[in-house]
């Protein structure tokens, strides 16, 4: 029905996307005592037994709501296969190395989840991360003098783009993007002396500025995200080459930057991390569960919740114990402790999950991803949400760049190029995030990143050529996309 443009449009009485996993209730339409239906607003007080919960879970699987299950099963299969084919795969040293290898791509994928939830794509995330890495390395090598490293003209253009990012963010009221872009401009213009913490801050701020420009072109100008990010993919590749030079390399000769991906917590710090992570997870899950029970709201069976928490605690304790053992192959060197990349990923996962699951902004992201028109009618600022996800994605790409640059200890013209983008998008999709929008969790990127890191690491131990690794990775990504498409079709055909 055509809308009447002569008066304000009425809000849709139920504008939420039907496939938003954070806003649905499995008992949404149970009959009320008076014969009516209880709307899906989280007020259902009907409890389920363990058997009913298990049957309901398998019913949802048959209905196409697979979530991260295919990726988890695939990861288990890969672990079994590679551990049986290579005696080195499950060694402590290789497991720790695997965590560091996959961390950069996983972090970039976590940012891309926000973009994919809106049904958008960011093809420039890889080279954008390379730009942030090159600026970070250039600032370090030149002692804070970016003008001397870039040249006058390039430096003024760079500062102009940062200033533009500030203006665009303010126009769209993306205050975090405006502040971070302004900080990058200040560091560059003032010539803040080189310092590893300043370099990492500069990288994240430049990433946010890139996201402001990308997001504005998509959200306000209206250019399709595929076109914008494809163009910027090429442009940022040229910027990296301009900053570093053909065949050049900028070394990250700093102990702090080197330890980001290559250092480890000590034994005490590793166990403290376990207590905080496992204890925090148990407190949140059990607190939410018993709070719902006290208020008479629907909640999962207590035994299943306890089993879930117990598994996480036991697995976390086992992993922590294993990583605190000496994994050095030399008697002269001791290497032990949880790698620094683990708490980095965990912190980003917790913050991102809280934002998506517990804040109004997160609900708006799912709403816009499920149905933009319904979200707009509900009063959500759709352009602002669309722009903001690109700011988040580019900022996460900068953090990923810090990690993968630390791993190799330098930045070259290929930084962020090659397979970085493809693996990052692949990690999110393989983990269960839908390419069609409205469906996905931040943990999907972590699970998918673990799958891809396992493939790359295992194939390397088996001395397989790059061609075979590319083929296998591509087939896994194709399989994940096929599962996503088929599950959506099945979910659409299933009775509600």
pLDDT at 473 over 90: no
- Tell whether 272 and 224 lie within a shared domain: no
Bridge partners, residue 31, by sequence: 37
Residue 28 lies in a domain: no
Q: For residue 391, what pLDDT band results from cuts at 50, 70 and 90?
A: very high
- Rounded to whole angstroms, the Cα distance separating 89 from 83 reads 5
Residue finishing a domain among 338, 353, 370:
338
Q: For residue 121, what pLDDT band results from cuts at 50, 70 and 90?
A: very high
Q: For residue 437, what pLDDT band results from cuts at 50, 70 and 90?
A: confident
- Rounded to whole angstroms, the Cα distance separating 140 from 187 reads 12
192 backbone dihedrals φ, ψ, rounded to 5°: -60, 130
Q: For residue 486, what pLDDT band results from cuts at 50, 70 and 90?
A: confident
Distances (CA, A) of 125 to 52, 130, 183, 184, 390: 43, 9, 21, 19, 9
Q: What is the mean pLDDT of residues 350-365?
A: 94
pLDDT for position 295: 83
Token pair in block for residue 77: 């299969």
- Rounded to whole angstroms, the Cα distance separating 197 from 54 reads 48
Q: Is 330 exposed, middle or buried (0-12, 13-18, 19+ CB in 10 A)?
A: exposed
173: left (phi over 0), alpha (psi -120 to 50) or beta: left
**Cβ contact 115:128 at 8 Å:** no
Q: For residue 48, what pLDDT band results from cuts at 50, 70 and 90?
A: low
Range of the domain at 76: 69-263+339-489
- Rounded to whole angstroms, the Cα distance separating 432 from 440 reads 6
Q: What percent of the chain has pLDDT over 90?
A: 53
- Tell whether 312 and 195 lie within a shared domain: no
- Rounded to whole angstroms, the Cα distance separating 401 from 494 reads 42
**Cβ contact 364:117 at 8 Å:** no
- Tell whether 321 and 382 lie within a shared domain: no
pLDDT for position 362: 94
- Rounded to whole angstroms, the Cα distance separating 483 from 193 reads 51
- Please list, in sequence order, all residues whose beta carbon lies within 8 angstroms of the beta carbon of residue 348, skipping any fewer than 6 positions away: 107, 110, 396, 399
Residue 463 lies in a domain: yes
- Tell whether 123 and 243 lie within a shared domain: yes
List pLDDT tens digits, range 190-240: 989 999 999 999 999 999 999 999 999 999 999 999 999 999 999 999 999
- Rounded to whole angstroms, the Cα distance separating 256 from 192 reads 18
pLDDT at 9 over 70: no
Output 60 or 256, whichever has higher pLDDT.
256
Residue finishing a domain among 338, 370, 395:
338
pLDDT for position 25: 41
- Tell whether 346 and 210 lie within a shared domain: yes
Q: In the 8-state DSSP scheme, what is residue 300? A: -
Count of the separate structural domains present in the chain: 2
- Rounded to whole angstroms, the Cα distance separating 439 from 69 reads 14
25: left (phi over 0), alpha (psi -120 to 50) or beta: beta
Return the sign of the alpha-carbon dihedral for residues 274, 278, 280, 283.
negative
Residue 219 lies in a domain: yes
Q: For residue 436, what pLDDT band results from cuts at 50, 70 and 90?
A: confident
pLDDT at 106 over 80: yes
Q: For residue 493, what pLDDT band results from cuts at 50, 70 and 90?
A: low
Residue 403 lies in a domain: yes
- Tell whether 367 and 284 lie within a shared domain: no
251 backbone dihedrals φ, ψ, rounded to 5°: -80, 145
- Tell whether 314 and 434 lie within a shared domain: no
- Enter the pTM of the model: 0.85
Helices 420-431 and 382-408, packing angle to 10 deg = 120
pLDDT for position 46: 53
Mean pLDDT of the chain, nearest integer: 85
Residue 468 lies in a domain: yes
Bridge partners, residue 219, by sequence: none
- Rounded to whole angstroms, the Cα distance separating 314 from 331 reads 30
Residue 427 lies in a domain: yes
- Rounded to whole angstroms, the Cα distance separating 129 from 119 reads 21
Return the sign of the alpha-carbon dihedral for residues 2, 21, 301, 69.
positive
Q: For residue 34, what pLDDT band results from cuts at 50, 70 and 90?
A: very low
- Rounded to whole angstroms, the Cα distance separating 310 from 318 reads 12
Q: What percent of the chain has pLDDT over 70?
A: 87
Output 35 or 293, whichever has higher pLDDT.
293
- Tell whether 143 and 219 lie within a shared domain: yes
pLDDT for position 15: 43
Output 132 or 431, whichever has higher pLDDT.
132
Residue finishing a domain among 298, 316, 338:
338
pLDDT for position 231: 95
Residue 205 lies in a domain: yes
Q: How many helices (H) and strands (E) does the chain have?
A: 19, 2
pLDDT for position 479: 80
Which stretch of 292-296, 335-339, 388-392, 411-415 has the lowest confidence by average pLDDT?
A: 292-296
- Tell whether 239 and 274 lie within a shared domain: no
Label residues 146-182 b or e (16+ Cβ within 10 Å = b): bbebbeeeebeebbebbebbbebbbebebeebbebbb
User: What CATH number is associated with residue 250?
Assistant: 1.10.3470
- Rounded to whole angstroms, the Cα distance separating 148 from 146 reads 5
List pLDDT tens digits, range 164-192: 999 999 999 999 999 999 999 999 999 89
Residue 19 lies in a domain: no
- Tell whether 211 and 281 lie within a shared domain: no
Q: Give the range with max mean pLDDT: 86-90, 295-299, 366-370.
A: 366-370
pLDDT for position 276: 95
Q: What is the mean pLDDT of residues 249-269?
A: 92
- Tell whether 303 and 380 lie within a shared domain: no
- Tell whether 255 and 220 lie within a shared domain: yes
Q: How far apart are the first and last CA of the chain?
A: 25
Q: Is 402 exposed, middle or buried (0-12, 13-18, 19+ CB in 10 A)?
A: buried
pLDDT at 485 over 80: no
Bridge partners, residue 410, by sequence: 251
Output 105 or 38, whichever has higher pLDDT.
105
Q: For residue 387, what pLDDT band results from cuts at 50, 70 and 90?
A: very high
pLDDT for position 429: 86
pLDDT for position 42: 40
Return the sign of the alpha-carbon dihedral for residues 414, 415, 416, 419.
positive
List pLDDT tens digits, range 275-306: 999 999 999 999 888 888 888 777 778 888 89
């Amino acid at each position: 029905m055509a809308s009447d443009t002569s008066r304000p449009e009425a809000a849709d009485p139920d504008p939420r996307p039907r496939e938003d996993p954070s806003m649905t209730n499995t008992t949404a339409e149970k009959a009320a005592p008076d014969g009516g239906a209880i709307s899906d607003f989280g007020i259902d007080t009907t409890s389920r037994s363990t058997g009913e919960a298990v049957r309901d879970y398998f019913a949802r699987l048959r209905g196409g709501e697979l979530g991260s299950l295919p990726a988890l099963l695939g990861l288990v299969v890969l672990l079994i296969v590679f551990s049986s084919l290579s005696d080195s795969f499950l060694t402590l040293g290789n497991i720790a190395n695997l965590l560091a290898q996959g961390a950069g791509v996983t972090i970039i994928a976590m940012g891309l989840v926000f973009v994919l939830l809106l049904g958008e794509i960011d093809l420039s995330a890889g080279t954008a991360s390379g730009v942030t890495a090159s600026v970070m390395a250039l600032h370090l090598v030149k002692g804070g003098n970016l003008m001397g490293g870039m040249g006058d003209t390039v430096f003024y253009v760079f500062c102009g783009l940062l200033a533009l990012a500030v203006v665009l963010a303010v126009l769209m009221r993306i205050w975090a993007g405006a502040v971070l872009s302004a900080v990058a401009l200040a560091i560059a213009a003032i010539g803040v002396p080189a310092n590893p913490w300043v370099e990492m801050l500069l990288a994240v701020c430049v990433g946010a500025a890139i996201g402001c420009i990308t997001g504005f072109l998509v959200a306000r100008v209206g250019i399709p995200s595929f076109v914008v990010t494809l163009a910027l993919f090429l442009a940022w590749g040229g910027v990296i080459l301009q900053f570093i030079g053909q065949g050049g390399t900028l070394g990250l000769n700093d102990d702090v930057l080197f330890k980001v991906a290559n250092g480890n917590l000590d034994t005490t710090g590793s166990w403290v991390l376990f207590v905080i992570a496992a204890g925090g997870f148990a407190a949140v899950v059990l607190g939410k569960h018993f709070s719902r029970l006290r208020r008479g709201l629907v909640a999962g069976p207590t035994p299943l919740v306890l089993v879930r928490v117990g598994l996480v605690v036991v697995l976390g304790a086992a992993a922590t114990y294993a990583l605190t053992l000496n994994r050095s192959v030399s008697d002269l060197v001791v290497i032990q402790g949880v790698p620094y990349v683990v708490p980095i990923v965990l912190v980003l996962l917790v913050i991102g999950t809280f934002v998506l699951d517990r804040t109004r902004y997160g609900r708006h992201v799912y709403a816009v991803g499920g149905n933009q028109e319904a979200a707009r009618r509900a009063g959500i600022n759709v352009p602002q949400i669309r722009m903001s996800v690109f700011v988040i994605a580019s900022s996460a790409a900068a953090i990923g760049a810090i990690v993968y640059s630390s791993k190799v200890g330098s930045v070259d013209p290929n930084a962020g190029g090659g397979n970085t983008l493809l693996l990052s998008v692949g990690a999110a999709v393989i983990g269960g995030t839908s390419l069609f929008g409205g469906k996905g969790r931040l943990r999907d990127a972590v699970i998918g990143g673990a799958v891809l890191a396992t493939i790359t690491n295992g194939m390397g131990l088996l001395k397989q050529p790059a061609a075979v690794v590319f083929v296998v990775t591509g087939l896994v990504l194709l399989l994940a996309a096929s599962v996503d498409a088929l599950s959506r079709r099945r979910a659409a055909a299933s009775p509600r």
